[in-house]
């Protein structure tokens, strides 16, 4: 039984990580082959940084992810605070469910509906669809990132309750000051983790971007997909490796941070 | 002393349930006022209305002669010490106390001296850089008090501030709070369900039950001259028996006619008679005005608590002399130990110790900690 559980564990992690490790390995392959590893080289990394298309796609992806996660964080935090302040329980529940819909909805449906929407908007404004490229994409990404921010901020606000805000008001804060000086610092962990989640969501979205995107605004996932129709070159392995490593580092940082938080609250709890 | 805060006809309901019923009340400048009542009586709601965290459904609130019913909390010169302290966990002790001054853009130099002053007043000098989450309950309470006092408000409101502390610490903090109040002369409005706390600290006590003020007075007034059975029972221990006021200074209860010092009732008016347990003397049966059988004796340290059955009514008596259970004893009551009250809606609900037990007392104390 003991052995079985160990074997099971190895199997699971093997299935999860061997493909990724293979990808990383082949990104360092000196030959243009996906089957044979012929020696270590950084050739594909050099090629990656010399390819203007890839570089532009990477830039687009990052700009989009940063902007959409920032905007979604601001709107989402405000929305969470608004939902918390609602008096009617019925309305509160209804709004919470409505904001969750884009998360539950299949991406393909969200993507198609957004495309239809932006086509209509373009027609009304009298511009071509291509003109709206970036903004359409930004709006779409903010929309599907929003629920993740609300989902991560709302429990924090609920947990915090009214007492600190009331104390701030009592000591002379305007409601605005009370929010920014007292409430926001205390819900910051939720806000930050919402932002990180939104950032990664936006970074690797393919389905919705595929529908909404236009030819003059390529993101990385779209570029990689378009390459698969021809042949995936190992510089894409290099790119994927970089993305995996970045996400891995982000994860470690956020885990260390939240680990510290838990530690602190444990200490405080023990003293009581 | 001038009226500083005045409530006129304040009513408030939550979900159709009346919590405060047309309260008329005023607080004088520099007073230590306690709102005393059991859990759910509306005392905290009253405090929250004064602080600006709730708005009254009806009535108006005056501060220093001006109506402030519609003034939001942050514009009132009233600060609050909350039941759960509500210190800001993201700031250290120094920044918590400096918070109100920073809002007013007070120069850093002044902030420094004022915070130091406050810290020494609450005996926390040297704690400046500590995180508030590492402080004990009593220390957090002191920080909360310092934070409320630093901008010199005219009034501070205290919502059961000692509720979470243990008994010894609570006693220390009581006298400390009282001396702070006397030293700086700021009006304190204090909410508690602990009658001992109220008696030992207050200049004026308002006893509240079911959203109505039952009695307002000094601690001695409230203890010695309770207005009705609720007040008599809630403040201290009381034997409350039915009596008939034969004429001024003559009252009949438990089958005996007593001399007393109260008057102003109708001839033969039914009344409630209050006798405090410590005012009853145990004497031999032939010298007693009343006789009864001892049903239980409990040692309480300073005295014995004796329950005596007199004509089916259980009396509580506190005596330093031991008497044996099942013994028949006589009771002697001085005329000025008898307090006569008009009949009220609380008559007959309190003051009989037949169902009395220590355990029930403790249980109901635990309940009151859940004040909203």
The complex scores an ipTM of 0.77
Provide, as residue numbers in chain A, all residues whose Cβ is less than 8 Å from the Cβ of B80: 166-167, 170
Provide, as residue numbers in chain A, all residues whose Cβ is less than 8 Å from the Cβ of B104: 172
pLDDT in tens, A55-75: 888 888 889 999 999 999 999
Q: Which two tokens stand for residue B160?
A: 């059961």
What confidence score (pLDDT) does residue B113 get?
92
Q: How far is B113 from chain A (nearest CA, A)?
A: 19
Pairwise CB contact (< 8 Å): B51 & A264:
no
Q: Does B236 touch chain A (CB under 8 A)?
A: no
Nearest Cα to Cα of residue B9 among B187, B211, B207, B228: B211
Provide, as residue numbers in chain A, all residues whose Cβ is less than 8 Å from the Cβ of B100: 171-172
User: Would you say A145 and A209 are in contact if contact means Cβ atoms under 8 Å apart?
Assistant: no
The DSSP secondary-structure symbol of B131 reads B
Q: Which residues make beta-bridge pairs with B307?
A: B296, B316
Residue A157 has pLDDT above 70, yes or no: yes
Which distant-in-sequence residues (6+ apart) come within 8 Å of A130 by Cβ?
Answer: A214, A215, A216
Q: Of B77, B82, B86, which to mutate for an interface test with A (greatest number of A Cβ within 10 Å)?
A: B86
Q: Does A168 touch chain B (CB under 8 A)?
A: yes
Give the Cα separation of B306 and B353 in Å (integer).
10
- Judged by DSSP in three states, B294 sits in strand
Q: What angle do CA B9, B14, B16 make, to 5 degrees?
A: 90
Give the HSE-up count for residue B48: Cα atoms under 13 Å, Cβ half-sphere. 21
Size of interface A-B (CB pairs under 8 A): 67
The DSSP secondary-structure symbol of B251 reads E
Provide, as residue numbers in chain A, all residues whose Cβ is less than 8 Å from the Cβ of B99: 168, 171
Provide, as residue numbers in chain B, all residues whose Cβ is less than 8 Å from the Cβ of A267: 133-134
Give the Cα separation of B125 and B68 in Å (integer).
37
Of B52, B79, B103, the CB nearest to A177: B103
> Which of A187-201, B24-38, B340-354 has the least mean pLDDT?
B340-354
What HEC string does chain A produce?
Answer: CHHHHHHHHHHHHHHHHHHHHHHHHHHCECCCCCCCCCCECCHHHHHHHHCHHHHHHHHHHHHHHHHHHHHHHHHHHHHHHHHHHCCCHHHHHHHHHHHHHHHHCCHHHHHHHHHHHHHHHHHHHCCCHHHHHHHHHHHHHHHHHHHHHHHHHHHHHHHHCCHHHHHHHHCCCCHHHHHHHHHHHHHHHHHHHHHHHHHHHHHCCCHHHHHHCCCCCCCHHHHHHHHHCCCCCHHHHHHHHHHHHHHHHHHHHHHHHHHHHHHHHHHHHHHC
Question: Per-residue confidence at A238, pLDDT binned at 50, 70, 90?
Answer: confident
Give the Cα separation of B372 and B330 in Å (integer).
46
The residue whose two tokens read 């894409």 is A236
Pairwise CB contact (< 8 Å): B151 & A172:
yes
Please report, for residues B17, B215, B223, B365, the alpha-carbon distance to residue B368 in angstroms, rounded to integers and kept in the order given.
19, 20, 21, 5
Residue A37 has pLDDT above 70, yes or no: yes
Question: Per-residue confidence at B367, pLDDT binned at 50, 70, 90?
Answer: very low
Please report, for residues B234, B333, B337, B342, the alpha-carbon distance to residue B269 in angstroms, rounded to integers and kept in the order given.
24, 21, 20, 9
pLDDT in tens, B43-78: 999 999 999 999 999 999 999 888 998 899 888 889
The residue whose two tokens read 């009034």 is B155
Q: How many helices (H) and strands (E) are present in chain B, helices listed first? A: 9, 20
Q: Does A50 touch chain B (CB under 8 A)?
A: no
The DSSP secondary-structure symbol of B73 reads G
Nearest Cα to Cα of residue A32 among A270, A232, A254, A220: A232
What confidence score (pLDDT) does residue A270 get?
43
Q: What domains are there in chain B, each with its CATH number?
A: 3-224 (3.40.50.300), 238-368 (2.40.50.140)
Burial of B207 (0-12, 13-18, 19+ CB in 10 A): buried
Residue B24 has pLDDT above 70, yes or no: yes
* Sheet hosting strand B155-159, strand order edge to edge: B78-81, B155-159, B187-192, B32-36, B204-209, B212-217
Of A169, A186, A272, the CB nearest to B73: A169
Q: Of B74, B84, B143, B147, which to mutate for an interface test with A (greatest number of A Cβ within 10 Å)?
A: B74
Chain B residues 97-156 with CB within 8 Å of chain A: 99-100, 103-104, 133-134, 136-137, 147-148, 151
| Nearest residue in A to B151, CA atom | A171
Q: Which two tokens stand for residue B69?
A: 């019913």
> Phi and psi dihedrals of B107, rounded to 5?
-60, 145
User: Would you say B214 and B42 are in contact if contact means Cβ atoms under 8 Å apart?
Assistant: no
Q: Does B325 touch chain A (CB under 8 A)?
A: no
When pLDDT is averaged across residues B27-32 and rounded to a whole number, the result is 91
- Average pLDDT value for chain B: 87
Q: How far is B78 from chain A (nearest CA, A)?
A: 7
Q: What domains are there in chain A, each with its CATH number?
A: 53-234 (1.10.3720.10)
User: Would you say B157 and B79 are in contact if contact means Cβ atoms under 8 Å apart?
Assistant: yes
When pLDDT is averaged across residues B335-344 and rounded to a whole number, the result is 88
Of B79, B104, B133, the CB nearest to A268: B133
Pairwise CB contact (< 8 Å): B151 & A175:
no
The residue whose two tokens read 């909350």 is B82
Please report, for residues B130, B178, B192, B359, the alpha-carbon distance to residue B136 in angstroms, rounded to integers and kept in the order given.
12, 21, 21, 29
Residue B307 has pLDDT above 70, yes or no: yes
Pairwise CB contact (< 8 Å): A168 & B100:
no
Nearest Cα to Cα of residue A233 among A17, A46, A12: A46
Q: Which two tokens stand for residue B132?
A: 């508030």
Q: How far is A190 from chain B (nearest CA, A)?
A: 14
What confidence score (pLDDT) does residue A177 get?
92
Pairwise CB contact (< 8 Å): B73 & A168:
no
Provide, as residue numbers in chain A, all residues whose Cβ is less than 8 Å from the Cβ of B150: none
Q: Is the pTM of this model over 0.90?
A: no
pLDDT in tens, A172-225: 899 999 999 999 999 999 999 999 889 988 988 889 998 888 777 888 888 888
What confidence score (pLDDT) does residue B364 get?
47
| Nearest residue in B to A269, CA atom | B133
What percent of chain A is predicted at pLDDT more than 70? Answer: 93
Pairwise CB contact (< 8 Å): B73 & A185:
no
Give the Cα separation of B83 and B95 in Å (integer).
20
Provide, as residue numbers in chain B, all residues whose Cβ is less than 8 Å from the Cβ of A87: none
Question: Per-residue confidence at A261, pLDDT binned at 50, 70, 90?
Answer: low
Q: How far is A65 from chain B (nearest CA, A)?
A: 30
For strands B204-209 and B212-217, give the pairing.
antiparallel
Q: How far is A94 from chain B (nearest CA, A)?
A: 21
Chain A residues 178-207 with CB within 8 Å of chain B: 178, 182, 185-186
Chain centroid offset of residue B291 CA: 34
Q: Does A113 touch chain B (CB under 8 A)?
A: no
Q: Which residues make beta-bridge pairs with B318?
A: B305
Provide, as residue numbers in chain A, all residues whose Cβ is less than 8 Å from the Cβ of B101: none
Pairwise CB contact (< 8 Å): A172 & B86:
no
What confidence score (pLDDT) does residue A258 get?
66
Residue B366 has pLDDT above 60, yes or no: no
Question: Per-residue confidence at B1, pLDDT binned at 50, 70, 90?
Answer: low
Pairwise CB contact (< 8 Å): B86 & A271:
no
């Amino acid at each position: 039984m003991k052995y079985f559980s160990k074997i099971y564990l190895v199997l699971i992690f093997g299935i999860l990580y061997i493909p990724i490790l293979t990808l990383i390995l082949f990104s360092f392959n000196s030959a243009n082959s996906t089957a044979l590893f012929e020696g270590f080289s950084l050739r594909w990394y050099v090629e990656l940084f010399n390819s203007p298309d890839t570089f532009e796609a990477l830039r687009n992806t990052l700009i989009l992810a940063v902007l959409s996660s920032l905007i979604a964080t601001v709107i989402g935090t405000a929305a969470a605070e608004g939902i918390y302040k609602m008096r009617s329980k019925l309305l509160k529940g209804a709004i919470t469910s409505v904001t969750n819909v884009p998360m539950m909805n299949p991406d393909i449906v969200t993507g198609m509906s957004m495309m239809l929407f932006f086509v209509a908007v373009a027609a009304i404004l009298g511009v071509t669809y291509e003109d709206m490229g970036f903004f359409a994409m930004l709006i779409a990404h903010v929309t599907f990132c929003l629920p993740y921010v609300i989902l991560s901020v709302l429990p924090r606000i609920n947990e915090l309750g009214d007492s600190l805000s009331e104390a701030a008001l009592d000591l002379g804060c305007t409601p605005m000051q009370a929010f920014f000086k007292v409430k926001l610092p205390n819900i910051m962990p939720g806000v930050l983790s919402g932002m990180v989640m939104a950032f990664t969501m936006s970074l690797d979205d393919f389905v919705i971007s595929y529908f909404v995107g236009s030819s003059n605004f390529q993101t990385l996932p779209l570029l990689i997909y378009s390459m698969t129709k021809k042949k995936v070159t190992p510089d894409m392995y290099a790119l994927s490796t970089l993305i995996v490593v970045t996400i891995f580092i982000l994860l470690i940082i956020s885990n260390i941070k939240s680990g510290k938080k838990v530690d602190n609250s444990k200490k405080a709890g023990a003293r009581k | 002393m001038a009226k500083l805060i005045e409530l006129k006809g304040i009513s408030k309901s939550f979900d159709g349930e009346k919590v405060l019923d047309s309260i008329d009340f005023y607080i004088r400048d520099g007073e230590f006022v306690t709102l005393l009542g059991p859990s759910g009586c509306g005392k905290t709601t009253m405090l929250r209305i004064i602080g600006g965290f709730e708005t009254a459904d009806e009535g108006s609130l005056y501060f220093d002669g001006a109506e402030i019913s519609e003034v939001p909390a942050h514009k009132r010169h009233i600060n609050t010490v909350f039941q759960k302290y509500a210190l800001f966990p993201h700031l250290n002790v120094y920044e918590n106390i400096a918070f109100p001054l920073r809002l007013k853009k007070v120069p850093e130099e002044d902030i420094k001296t004022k915070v130091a002053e406050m810290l020494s007043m609450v005996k926390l000098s040297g704690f400046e850089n500590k995180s508030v989450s590492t402080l004990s309950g009593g220390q957090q309470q002191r920080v909360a008090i310092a934070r409320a006092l630093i901008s010199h408000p005219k009034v501070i409101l205290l919502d059961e501030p000692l509720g979470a502390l243990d008994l010894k610490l609570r006693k220390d903090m009581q006298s400390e709070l009282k001396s702070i109040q006397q030293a700086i002369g700021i009006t304190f409005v204090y909410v508690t369900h602990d009658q001992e706390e109220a008696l030992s600290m207050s200049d004026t006590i308002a006893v509240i039950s079911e959203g109505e003020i039952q009695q307002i007075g000094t601690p001695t007034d409230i203890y010695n001259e309770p207005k009705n059975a609720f007040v008599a029972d809630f403040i201290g221990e009381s034997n409350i028996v039915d009596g008939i006021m034969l004429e001024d200074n003559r009252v009949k209860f438990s089958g005996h006619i007593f001399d007393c010092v109260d008057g102003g009732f109708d001839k033969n008016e039914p009344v409630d008679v209050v006798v405090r347990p410590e005012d009853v003397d145990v004497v031999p049966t032939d010298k007693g005005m009343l006789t009864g059988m001892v049903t239980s004796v409990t040692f309480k340290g300073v005295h014995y608590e004796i329950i005596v059955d007199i004509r089916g009514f259980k009396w509580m008596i506190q005596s330093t002399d031991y008497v044996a259970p099942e013994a028949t004893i006589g009771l002697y009551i001085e005329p000025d130990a008898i307090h006569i009250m008009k009949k009220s809606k609380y008559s007959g609900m309190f003051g009989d110790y037949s169902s009395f037990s220590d355990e029930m007392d403790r249980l109901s104390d635990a309940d009151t900690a859940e004040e909203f």
